[in-house]
Amino acid sequence: MIRSLVLAALFAGQSALVFAQPPAAPPEPPPPLLEASAQFAFLDNSGNASAKSLGAGGDFTYRPDPWVYTGKFVFAQTETDDKLDARSIAALFRASRVLNKRLSAYGQYDFLRDLFAGVEQRNVIEGGVSYLAVDRAPHHLQFDAGVGYLNEQRTDNSTLSSATLSLASAYALTLATSKLTYEPRFLVPFATTDAWKFDQNIAFAVAVNSFLSLKVSHILRYSNRPPAGFKTTDRILAISLVAKMKRPRPQP
């Protein structure tokens, strides 16, 4: 009798502990199938150019498993006294194939026309691997390593053509109504290693509502061996109004 009462008490205690535990947190929903944004910006340029500019751009991310396609486009134009001084166009397209939870392979094409820095056009074709080091809210950290080919036509009539090594990373801190991103990239031409380049993009966005955000971004482009007559560093500070849209994944 006593033994039965003891066993009943132990069972009741264990049951109480089980029911007292908080329910497990639901898994995070998968990212949307499609994300896209368009932005309009006021630019304050310093370095090789000092002028007030208007800019526009956009980006998209499309995720049909197991692929991820991303694209970016930025246009900037500078006028002084109704005279066109310069135009800047930057574009990127990237296709990634997810291999497992952490690793993916990618190929990308990068284009730049930046007369502010003496670049008529720069074309970079690259392939490599990405490693997802941190993917736990609110942090996201990814590393890239790739090889490719660079062809750069310059305003001083010189040309830089070489195989390249690229090292990059992408960090994002996502909070309830804001997001901070930092994306550095290091590019080394094998033929002329002292002509290495370093780019970085820092951006902070705050949601105004579910559709609009206000974003402040700072782009730095460094060329260790720039075209003749140009400085090594260009900086672009942009204050943008960003419109976003998302398309969720279809329900199974």
Which residues in 1-38 are b (16+ Cβ under 10 Å) and which e? eeeeeeeeeeeeeeeeeeeeeeeeeeeeeeeeebbbbb
Q: Give me the helices (H) in the chain, please.
A: 2-20
Question: Is 38 in contact with 243 (CB distance < 8 Å)?
Answer: yes
Looking from the CA of 36 toward its CB, the CA atoms found within 13 Å total 7
Cβ partners under 8 Å of residue 85, min gap 6: 49, 51, 78, 79
What would the pLDDT profile of 79-100 be if each residue is shown by its tens digit? Answer: 776 677 777 899 999 999 999 9
Looking from the CA of 109 toward its CB, the CA atoms found within 13 Å total 5
Q: What is the CA radius of gyration of the chain?
A: 25
3-state helix, strand, coil in the chain (%, to 5): 10, 65, 25
In the predicted model, is pLDDT for residue 12 greater than 70?
A: no
Res 18: pLDDT? 43
Share of the chain above pLDDT 70, in %: 83
Res 204: pLDDT? 95
The domain limits of the chain are 31-247
Distance CA 213, CA 178 (A): 9
Distance CA 91, CA 137 (A): 29
Which residues does residue 70 pair with via DSSP β-bridges, in sequence order?
61, 94
Cβ partners under 8 Å of residue 47, min gap 6: 116, 117, 231, 233, 234, 235
pLDDT band at residue 15 using 50, 70 and 90 as cut-offs: very low
Question: Is 189 in contact with 162 (CB distance < 8 Å)?
Answer: yes
Of 75-79, 97-101, 108-112, 234-238, which range is least confident?
A: 75-79
pLDDT band at residue 3 using 50, 70 and 90 as cut-offs: very low
pLDDT band at residue 134 using 50, 70 and 90 as cut-offs: very high
Question: Structure pTM?
Answer: 0.81
What would the pLDDT profile of 158-202 be if each residue is shown by its tens digit? Answer: 999 999 999 999 999 999 899 999 999 999 999 999 999 999 999
Res 28: pLDDT? 64
Res 214: pLDDT? 93
What would the pLDDT profile of 49-73 be if each residue is shown by its tens digit? Answer: 666 777 888 999 999 999 999 999 9
Res 247: pLDDT? 87
Res 78: pLDDT? 76
Res 31: pLDDT? 83
What mean pLDDT comes out for the span 120-129? 96
Question: Is 46 in contact with 242 (CB distance < 8 Å)?
Answer: no
The distance in angstroms from the start CA to the end CA of the chain is 54
Question: Is 179 in contact with 167 (CB distance < 8 Å)?
Answer: no
- Pull the structure tokens for residue 220: 């730095």
CA dihedral 220, 225, 226, 230 (to 10 degrees): 100
The domain defined by 31-247 folds into: Lipocalin (2.40.128)
